[in-house]
Chain A
Amino acid sequence: MKKLKFIGNPLLQSREKINMSSDKKWLTLKTTEDNEEFVVEESVAIMSNVIKNMVEDGCASSVIPVPRVKGNAMGKIIEFCKKHTEESDEKVLKEFDAEFLNLGPDALYDLMVSANFLEIKVLLDSVTTKVADMIKGKSSEEIRNILKIENDLSAEEIEESRRENCWTRQE
């Protein structure tokens, strides 16, 4: 039994059902990996450039299959896009993003890769900023630990690289 997910305030669900037939256009996004379906407004869905192009080219049917994105990530993505379409206050959005991105590393990674695949610039920038903040101002050794990078440089190579790029430190 497929579950249709309405993204929105559960209390408003009945009103939303009534509005289904009004002037707002609705799309169904189906994650092909785990067969979950999500009903969203077109104005929210087209925050993804990929979906936007499909809709504009007229090749989007009522159900759009979305590969490579898992159901959980899709749900979070739609929540993000909905908030960003509804709200225009910068401050409110910043607070929302900070709260929204309070996720574990796995969920964060899924979100990042999905946002990249679906070409949602605002979301990708938000998540990548958060990852960038993890390594800002840290030493090379600390960065290796955070990003799980293996060190294969010799001490001389490191020193040479620092010398070549000393102009970057004049700020």
Chain B
Amino acid sequence: MNPPNDTVSIPFSDFPEDVQLSILSFLTPSEITAFSCTSKRFNSLLNTDSKLWFFLCDRKFGSKTQINKWGSGKISYKRLFKVLSELENLIGFWRRSGPSKNDDDDFVTPRLLCFDWGPCYVIGSRVSGSKSGGYDVVKVPCLWVCLDSEGERLSFLDLNCKVRVFDDLGCVEDELIRVGVNLTGRFHFVVEENVCFDKVGVVEDTMSVRDKMIGSVGNQLMADMYQYFANRTSPAGERWLRRQKRKEKERKKWEREHYVKIVNCSPTPSRPLQGLWKGICDDMKLGLYLVAYDEIGGIACRRIEDSSKPFSGFFPMFWTSNATFIESPLSPEEQYIYDSRTHIRPPEASSDHIHGDEAVSRILYIKLSCDLVIPDFADAYVNTQQVEGRIWQYGNGTFGFGFLRDGHIVDLKPITRNDNNIET
């Protein structure tokens, strides 16, 4: 028995169409399914590519991407909604998990990837600290995910990070690797090479392949592929095929890589140190740090960097088993420990009052991570001076960390998805 306020005054079918669609655009797909089973008319609304799917795409994704441009505007909004809902899980920060078989002297698989929405694609960028000495974070595009005109996903790895603009993808077709980005669940995906060009027998019809490629990846790439598929037995086609095979022999096959989502990227009131941070380290480069809380009240911090050196890449920095702060005012000993340090910050930042409130609001005891055996630290476990450190949290929520064995503070700022997009 519904209370009077909970029904509408006139039948829903008599509402103006735009009002109907506006109401429905707030529903989740499963709620829409329930709605579609109410009558024949609304059933067809759901099952055909009606205005409803456009309203749904617009409501959910209109502010993030240009929904009319995906797949060159040729795919149904119903299909687009499904695909964009899948791709939405990619957005955010991911870190590479496990050892990489692809790293060599010229190339390191990105340790930290950030996926963002583009106008008609999703772009995965390698995230690293700027070498300019400032707080700038550099995001360089290297993994492009878009749709062909039939709504199937196309993903390309740009190993040398040559492409900055989507439309240029076609110009470097020789250097792109066609990959599959396969999400398993919401927090894990695998990138692996798709060797589809070798499967000649699978292609049924040359025109449909060409149509798939039109507009999606640039004319040069499309033209080459069309030339191949249209002239499979022609000299031109065979030359193209030999050229591709030779290229593939010169370049070894890309081995699959696993990425794990960084779910907690930002601090929260109960976890104020959580997330991704950046700060200048001892080596005067901008380092990226991930601070994570565990289930038993502890914190661990690791530095993330693209390095092919062993043991680096996801390097433990510090940890503590007790994340309870000691509030100011600090004891004179602690105040002295803080005052006698030099802050490691970019030169131009020092005058910027980045840490507006220089006064430390509270401190935390931490320990240097000694997971690696370092000769100098042979006595580390005995000599607490070597491993003890502090986190000093400032009034504005940022913090710095340092260890008793040296006289520095590394001042950190949070990394956000809207961070500087300057490219080297």
Contact = CB atoms under 8 A, between A and B. Distances in A.
Interface stretch (A5-13, A44-52, A140-148): A140-148
Interface stretch (A15-23, A85-93, A156-164): A156-164
A134 B20 CA distance: 14
Nearest to A158: B37
Nearest to B14: A148
A113 to B, nearest CB: 6
Given A148-B7, A153-B39, A128 B12 contact: no
- Do most interface residues of chain B lie in helix, strand or loop, or is the interface mixed? helix
Contacts of B12: 147-149
Q: Interface centre among B6, B23, B26, by most A CB within 10 Å? A: B23
B22 A124 contact: yes
Given A143-B35, A153-B37, A161-B46, A148 B23 contact: no
B42 interface: yes
A14 interface: no
B43 A132 contact: no
B43 A128 contact: no
A160 to B, nearest CB: 9
B9 A152 contact: no
B47 A161 contact: yes
A26 interface: no
B296 interface: no
Interface in A109-156: 109, 112-113, 116, 124-125, 128-129, 131-140, 143-153
A171 B37 contact: no
A9 to B, nearest CB: 29
Give the secondary structure class of A's interface: helix
Give the most central of A136, A145, A153: most B CB within 10 Å: A153
A161 B37 contact: yes
B31 interface: yes
A58 interface: no
Given A113-B16, A171-B28, A128 B34 contact: no
A147 B42 CA distance: 12
A162 B43 CA distance: 10
A2 B208 CA distance: 69
A116 B2 contact: no
- Nearest first, the 10 A-B pairs at minimum CB distance are A168-B29, A147-B12, A132-B26, A105-B9, A140-B37, A148-B11, A128-B22, A128-B23, A106-B9, A169-B30
Interface of B: 2, 4-13, 15-16, 18-19, 22-40, 42-43, 46-47, 82
